[in-house]
A and B are shown apart, each in its own frame.
Chain A
């Protein structure tokens, strides 16, 4: 009885994943083919660099990749390969797309996961504390602080953090990747923006919960504030905070591109920007597909988490 809505939700997400897979693959293919500029020249520039891109290099690329073929044939071939779980090879490096994505998605997910974790450690606790004492010092301080963080573009925030922690204090590496310390600055850059939002959501939810009749009743029946909050407060705050995570993923994906570029972090956003510049169609398709499916997957996880926190949803 309780499993049914969950299955329904998961089924819905699965359907969405299929739909999105097809849409993303086809749309990116069409757009990439529609882009202005000679594709052979673009690929040659991506491969050999600006010093060595010449007409003859472009001719060689055109011949090698069979770019004179009709576009529909190429799309058909891509879909056929996809049906066999093959994303093809990069036009630039010649490596399998899946290998490049595995490397880069791993680093992106690493960064994004660290950022979410950090933001949850910073945002909701502060928000709850502020919400428990509305109008208090913390509450008043939090609003401009959160709005300020949200209003700073990430690259400005990132540079500020590098100048402060890497150049000024020498505590953390400025950029690069490979160790735990390398991860901190880019993750904090992303996390602060996320925490700005989740702290506000948690604060409003706390305010709503503590003003609710059931909470007042719990207090009236003699529960001390601590247990009342634990039994009746946290769950009700958890739902909107978790639901907002799903919405925040969009912000996260966009932030990742900027942060990866600034911190020389190998990632999928970086890969996507490069692939578009170099007209590496299989790479664009593969990256977009994986990003979209990852987004659906994460949203499904958020759904499940909401079910876990809020028993009412299971009966819906």
Chain B
């Protein structure tokens, strides 16, 4: 295994109880922010019939008004409807990306860390290869394989992200598996499932959750960046990175419109970072 070990959250020293309180407060804040954004994403289509794709070239870059509370974009589309659609897309993206990276990563990590042997070595080699493969290359190639489709981006991002789960989980499990408690459980004749539930999961769960919320934030940023080099999703899809890229040239003419997708990405990533504890990565 590579000596570049990732410091484990579970073993970090927590200096004072006030830090705990603060960490919890920031998590609460993060959760509240995330819920608020999700509510915006899913409630807007219920409350208004604005279509995120409907254009009106006669009313472009309008400032916020009673009819359009967030104004209109460069094609005269409702910013409120588009932001809501973009939030749904980004959150869905983040969720699918994280789950499809976390499940194989955690499973393989537990198996490799617990069982060791050839499985451990093979998985280690695989993860090393993936780690050194420029993630960008994978995503670019997959995106070129199916231009404009979302699944290529999901797969590409998951392929990049799973390694991190694998490495961290394997390291955690390896330490835990050598612990006297597990030794005792095994001697007492408990099955692997019990040992996993009783001893391993509590060890890896906080780590995985931390990684998941960071991974979600990274996925959102990665898709936004891909949109910028015109590899990501295609217009008229309402995607935050794409919206920013399209609206960028209007930064002087309609700053309030450009500000909106930036603020949403900012709040999304911030809330996920807060949710995961204090250390952003």
Among residues of B, the one whose C-beta sits closest to the C-beta of A163 is: B251
Q: Is the CB of A207 within 8 A of B15?
A: yes
A180 at interface by CB-CB < 8 Å: no
The answer to whether residues A155 and B137 also contact, given A35-B145, A211-B15, A299-B4 and a CB cut-off of 8 A, is no
Q: Chain B: interface secondary structure?
A: helix
Stretch among B50-58, B177-185, B266-274 lining the A interface: B266-274
A143 at interface by CB-CB < 8 Å: yes
Q: Is the CB of A151 within 8 A of B270?
A: yes
B5 at interface by CB-CB < 8 Å: yes
Q: Is the CB of A147 within 8 A of B229?
A: no
CA distance A153 to B90 in the complex (A): 14
A183 at interface by CB-CB < 8 Å: no
Q: Is the CB of B135 within 8 A of A254?
A: yes
Q: Is the CB of B224 within 8 A of A247?
A: no
CA distance A208 to B16 in the complex (A): 11
B262 at interface by CB-CB < 8 Å: yes
B12 at interface by CB-CB < 8 Å: yes
Stretch among B35-43, B91-99, B201-209, B241-249 lining the A interface: B241-249
A306 at interface by CB-CB < 8 Å: yes
Q: Is the CB of B19 within 8 A of A134?
A: yes
Among residues of A, the one whose C-beta sits closest to the C-beta of B22 is: A135
Q: A residues within 8 A CB of B273?
A: 147, 150-151
The total of chain B residues at the interface (CB under 8 A) is 56
CA distance A204 to B278 in the complex (A): 9
Among residues of A, the one whose C-beta sits closest to the C-beta of B241 is: A153
Taking a contact as CB atoms closer than 8 A, the residue among B5, B140, B266 that contacts A152 in the complex is B266
CA distance A36 to B222 in the complex (A): 24
B236-261 vs A: 1/0 string, CB under 8 Å?
A: 00000100110010010000000000
Q: B residues within 8 A CB of A292?
A: 132-134
Taking a contact as CB atoms closer than 8 A, the residue among B12, B15, B146, B244 that contacts A134 in the complex is B15
CA distance A208 to B4 in the complex (A): 19
A250 at interface by CB-CB < 8 Å: yes
Among residues of A, the one whose C-beta sits closest to the C-beta of B7 is: A240
Q: Chain A: interface secondary structure?
A: helix
Interface size range on A against B:
35 or more
CA distance A176 to B266 in the complex (A): 28
Among residues of A, the one whose C-beta sits closest to the C-beta of B139 is: A254
A197 at interface by CB-CB < 8 Å: yes
CA distance A31 to B155 in the complex (A): 14
B216 at interface by CB-CB < 8 Å: no
CA distance A204 to B129 in the complex (A): 30
Q: Is the CB of A288 within 8 A of B278?
A: no
A35 to chain B, nearest CB (A): 5
Q: Is the CB of B4 within 8 A of A143?
A: no
A253 at interface by CB-CB < 8 Å: yes
B129 to chain A, nearest CB (A): 5
A107 at interface by CB-CB < 8 Å: no
Q: Is the CB of B140 within 8 A of A276?
A: yes
Among residues of B, the one whose C-beta sits closest to the C-beta of A211 is: B15
| In the complex, the 4 A-B pairs of residues with the closest C-beta atoms, listed nearest first | A151-B269, A211-B15, A20-B132, A31-B141
16 pairs, A vs B, C-beta closer than 8 Å: A16-B132, A23-B129, A31-B141, A31-B142, A35-B144, A146-B280, A153-B225, A240-B7, A250-B160, A254-B222, A257-B225, A269-B136, A292-B133, A299-B2, A313-B3, A316-B3
Enumerate chain B interface residues (CB-CB to A < 8 A).
2-7, 12-13, 15-16, 18-19, 26, 125, 128-129, 132-137, 140-142, 144-147, 160, 217, 221-222, 224-225, 228-229, 231, 241, 244-245, 248, 251, 262, 265-270, 273-274, 278-281
